[in-house]
Amino acid sequence: MSDDNYGLPAVSLGPVSMPLLGFGTWQISDDDVTAAVGTALETGYRHLDTATGYGNEAGIGRALAAAGLAREDVFVTTKLPPDHGGRERQTIEESLTKLGLDHVDLWLVHWPPGGEAAPEVWQEVVRAQQDGLVTSVGVSNYSLAQIDEITAAVGVAPAVNQIKWGPLLYDVAEVDGLRERGVVLEGYSPLKATDLDDPVLGGIAAEHGVTPAQVVIAWHVAHGFVVIPKSSRPERIIANAEAVRVPLTVEQVEAVDGLARG
């Protein structure tokens, strides 16, 4: 196991801290994910992101078991498919069995069910939290209005909203809206949502002796956004982690902000 530990920096979700760097596993098959997650954990990642819909929870469970890390040292997220309303408890119990865990740190509603806020689904997600199956609860791909609707209906705000995010998608109104509601912004597909050939990124990368992809990840961390880059290639898994420690200046962060297409 590497001496590096990327559990920090982190953001508090109340009962648990969520590392700003996570390892994304979307589109990594169950057969391949065990090795990829094993490499990530060896590298020092301490935050894993999966979903029922990814079909790879069992493979991640095998990697967790093989790593032998203390449960409290790894933050694990999974997600409820939007069409599993009415099967919330069954779904999280199946996820826990596959992952080999007695709880996950964060459970998200993966998309608004049927495009709607679905407070009845959110109520069941909160109930799973109250029963100790999950530590924190949140949503993914929800609008601010939908977050307000489920919060008003159930009395519990989501801890996190996981959305597609990157410099091109940077939106101050979204950032401020989530912050005002006490909701952590977590970005997925950070590299796919970016033009890595942009000369602004290239110039900043050259100044630090890193790649444009590493600048994008460092930009997320500089803002306090959670970021979950995905790769199954060991060299990229390592490079993505090292990006957390790239010290962007205020001026460089603002230059990346300026790439937003609004």
The reported pLDDT for the residue numbered 42 is: 97
Residue 71 to residues 15, 46, 100, 174, 232, Cα–Cα distance (Å): 15, 10, 11, 33, 23
- The b-or-e profile of 124-163 (16+ CB within 10 A means b, else e) is bbbebbeeebbbbbbbbbbebebbebbbeebeebbbbbbb
Query: Is residue 120 over pLDDT 80?
Result: yes
What are the structure tokens assigned to 220, written together?
């997320």
The reported pLDDT for the residue numbered 170 is: 96
pLDDT (tens digit per residue) in 5-18: 899 999 999 999 99
Alpha carbon distance 191, 230 (integer Å)? 9
Residue listed under structure tokens 């109104």: 173
If pLDDT is split at 50, 70 and 90, which confidence band does 2 have?
low
Alpha carbon distance 81, 79 (integer Å)? 6
The reported pLDDT for the residue numbered 4 is: 77
Please answer whether residues 105 and 64 qualify as being in contact, where contact means their C-beta atoms are separated by less than 8 angstroms. Answer: no
The reported pLDDT for the residue numbered 186 is: 98
Query: Is residue 1 over pLDDT 60?
Result: no
Question: What is the helix (H) or strand (E) element at residue 238, kind and residue range?
Answer: helix 234-242
pLDDT (tens digit per residue) in 60-97: 999 999 999 999 999 999 999 999 999 999 999 999 99
If pLDDT is split at 50, 70 and 90, which confidence band does 246 have?
very high
Q: Global pTM?
A: 0.96
Among 72, 70, 74, 82, residue whose Cα is nearest residue 45: 74
Query: Is residue 244 over pLDDT 80?
Result: yes
Say whether 54 is catalytic: yes
Candidates 54, 142, 170, 188; catalytic one: 54
- Residue 106's DSSP bridge partners are 77, 136
* Ordered DSSP codes for 152-213: HHHS---SEEEEE-SGGG--HHHHHHHHHTT-EEEEESTTTTS-TT-HHHHHHHHHHTS-HH
Alpha carbon distance 258, 96 (integer Å)? 42
**C-alpha dihedral (240, 244, 247, 253), degrees to nearest 10:** 80
User: Percentage of the chain with pLDDT > 70?
Assistant: 98
For residues 113-118, give the mean pLDDT.
97
Compute the radius of gyration of the chain from its Cα atoms. Answer: 18
For residues 202-228, give the mean pLDDT.
98
pLDDT (tens digit per residue) in 77-86: 999 999 999 9
The reported pLDDT for the residue numbered 116 is: 97
The reported pLDDT for the residue numbered 3 is: 59
Among 55, 97, 96, 53, residue whose Cα is nearest residue 76: 96
Query: Is residue 262 over pLDDT 90?
Result: no
If pLDDT is split at 50, 70 and 90, which confidence band does 255 have?
very high
* Ordered DSSP codes for 79-140: EE-TT-TT-HHHHHHHHHHHHT-S-EEEEEE-S-GGGS--HHHHHHHHHHHHTTSEEEEEEE
If pLDDT is split at 50, 70 and 90, which confidence band does 193 have?
confident
Q: Please report, as a single letter, which amino acid is at residue 136.
A: S
Alpha carbon distance 134, 256 (integer Å)? 35
What distance, in Å, lies between the first and last C-alpha atoms of the chain? 42
For residues 117-146, give the mean pLDDT.
98
